[in-house]
Amino acid sequence: MKSDNKNIRHLSLPALQEYFGSIGEKPFRAKQVYEWLWLRHANSFEAMTNLSKELRQKLEEHFSLPAVKIDTVQQSTDGTIKSRFRLHDNHLVEGVLIPTDSRQTACVSSQVGCSLSCKFCATGYMERKRNLDYDEIYDEVALINQQALETSGKKLSNIVFMGMGEPLLNYKNVLQAIERITAPDGLAMSPKRITVSTAGVAKMIRQLGDDKVRFNLALSLHAANDKKRSEIMPINDSNNLTELIAALNYFYKATQNEISFEYILFKDFNDSKEDADELIKIYRQVPADLVNIIEYNPIDMARFQKPDAKTAEEFMEYLSKNRVNARLRRSRGKDIDAACGQLANKG
């Protein structure tokens, strides 16, 4: 359990230096501790072995270090690893390592539960409990990075914010986590390898542009007209497609960063030629690099099914004939409920 002490990872390096000055310690000690916290990913003061026992005790008395812990791990037959993480207040979130020949991708959560209630998503049927702090998001990534190293000898190459929660409704923590993940004294990853996926919060997409972020953006589109989209994603009522298209163009103009669309194929809902035509129309209004067409993974609570292979193939062919850069993503980790839209702490 987290104590009432201040979380030491919520202190910047200058703030830590100030604290060390106030207790008569040399400034370089602050740097050492900062490295333990971020670069070396220490999960207790005890682990900071190049500090004296007295100093470690003093830190323990003044601060808390509520590190995220792995609760359970499940491995899919296709190599995908789903981890359930336990937070200091016993809330649980999930993260997934998706290994391929060329990539080690982490899919991470940004909130406990989600408030957006998308009809096809298991997380959407859970209540939103709270946002993750930036150090908690960082821990998820660092722990999945360790799994990648242990299982393949390779570090993470990519991170996608496509786990539980809407990242743009936890804006400050997601940006701060990415700052630490990309910092040389953090995980030193390139922001070009990070994609934040949103269900479509137009105001915050514009904010990303104003903040000149360097990571990529994915929009979970899933339906290419307002009527259908509102049916499966209630957020579309307040953030319709016209607003989203304008916000994406604003983001691109400000950052030139990659934009992609995610489009889950649902049988007899959004898999017809007319649906493809509407998708093409939207694609042409946004400087999007890619449309990821995703195979749906049915969940117990939802009525949707995935289309048969022939329908999916025809949909893809039609997009390609119309010069849409689309890729069909076969879902990974289905047998352990780790695939897109399946994260719901089922264990």
How close are the terminal C-alpha atoms of the chain, in Å?
22
**Residue 49 burial (C-beta neighbours within 10 Å; 0-12, 13-18, 19+):** exposed
For residue 240, the one-letter residue type is N
Only one residue has tokens 């390139």, namely 190
**Binding site residue list for [4Fe-4S] cluster:** 114, 118, 121
The residue from 107, 262, 295, 340 that is catalytic is 340
Q: Which is nearer to ligand SF4, 41 or 334 (CB)?
A: 334
Q: Considering the complex, what minimum distance in angstroms separates the CB of residue 178 from ligand SF4?
A: 18
Instruction: Please enumerate in sequence order all residues whose Cβ is within 8 A of that of 64, keeping only pairs 6 or more positions apart, or say none.
Output: 2, 3, 4, 5, 6, 7, 8, 88
CB of 105 to ligand SF4, least distance (A): 17
- Element housing 252 (H / E): helix 241-255
What letters, b where the CB count within 10 A reaches 16 and e where it falls short, cover 315-326?
A: bbebbeeeebeb
Q: Which residues of the chain form contacts with ligand SF4 (CB under 6 A)?
A: 114, 116-118, 121, 123-124, 164-166, 199
3-state SS, residue 66: coil
Query: Judged by CB, which is closer to ligand SF4: 118, or 144?
Result: 118
Nearer to ligand SF4, 164 or 175 (CB): 164
Least separation in angstroms between CB 235 and ligand SF4? 7
Give the nearer residue to ligand SF4 in terms of CB position, either 233 or 312.
233
According to DSSP, residue 171 is labeled: H
Task: Give the position of tokens 């898999």.
Answer: 271
Residue list for the binding site for S-adenosyl-L-methionine: 165-166, 197, 220-222, 297
Check: CB of residue 96 under 8 Å from CB of residue 80: yes
Helical H segments across 112-240, by residue range: 134-152, 171-182, 202-210, 226-232
**Minimum CB–partner distance for residue 252 and ligand SF4 (Å):** 22
C-alpha triplet 276, 282, 288: angle, nearest 5°: 105
Q: Which is nearer to ligand SF4, 48 or 343 (CB)?
A: 343
Quick check: is 107 catalytic?
A: no
C-beta of 124: minimal distance to ligand SF4 in Å?
A: 3
Q: Which of 18, 35, 94, 278 is flagged as catalytic?
A: 94
* Angle at CA of residue 210, ends 139 and 286, nearest 5°: 95
Catalytic residues: 94, 340
